[in-house]
Amino acid sequence: MIAIIDYGMGNLRSVEKGFQKVGADARVVTDPKAIDDADGVVLPGVGAFKDCMRNLSDLNLTDAVLKAIRKGKPFLGICLGLQVLFSESEEFGTCKGLDIFKGKVLRFPHNELKVPHMGWNSINIKNRPPILDGVPDRGYVYFVHSFYVEPEDKGIVAATTDYGLEFTSMVWKDNIFATQFHPEKSQSLGLKILKGFGDFVKKA
């Protein structure tokens, strides 16, 4: 079973429906034990970094997330679920993240491009993770975000996207996969990614 963590922020139902469409057993959970018992874990999210960290703490989910990652359980972070894996964010002042990866979450610079970055854009695959099997380089996926991650270790960058600058749109290290874009909103290509994660969980 894949646990989709409900901490009060995120498009949970569409993520769950996406996994169901590709035949994966995924369920929305709020209980740390359900996360511990799951074969794979998904942390989706939209909204503010600080609110996410506070909600995870208030619901006693932070330790369950860290434990799952450290045990080597397949993990997928989506949008805000990618950003909180990093050390800190500059959103509304400095806020500490889970610090799984060293690096910062930065706001897009003020220029002629609209912020938030919203809509379809392509991904440049730099280091193909197993969950991108069958996904073409330069394939289009759906984004909604005003902040992007800047990893210290460039070796974890799986894909980048161009929007005024080349930013990290996907990371991968061992059992951890995380996307700045929304697979559940990215139609057939996004479903391939969700299926890829589901298949990875089965093999783990």
Write the CA distances from 14 to 10, 20, 28, 192, integer angstroms.
Answer: 9, 10, 11, 15
| C-alpha torsion 89→162→16→51, nearest 10 | 20
Active-site residue set: 79, 182, 184
d(CA 74, CA 173): 10
For 4-34, letters b (16+ CB in 10 Å) and e give bbbbebbbbeebbebbeebebebebbeebeb
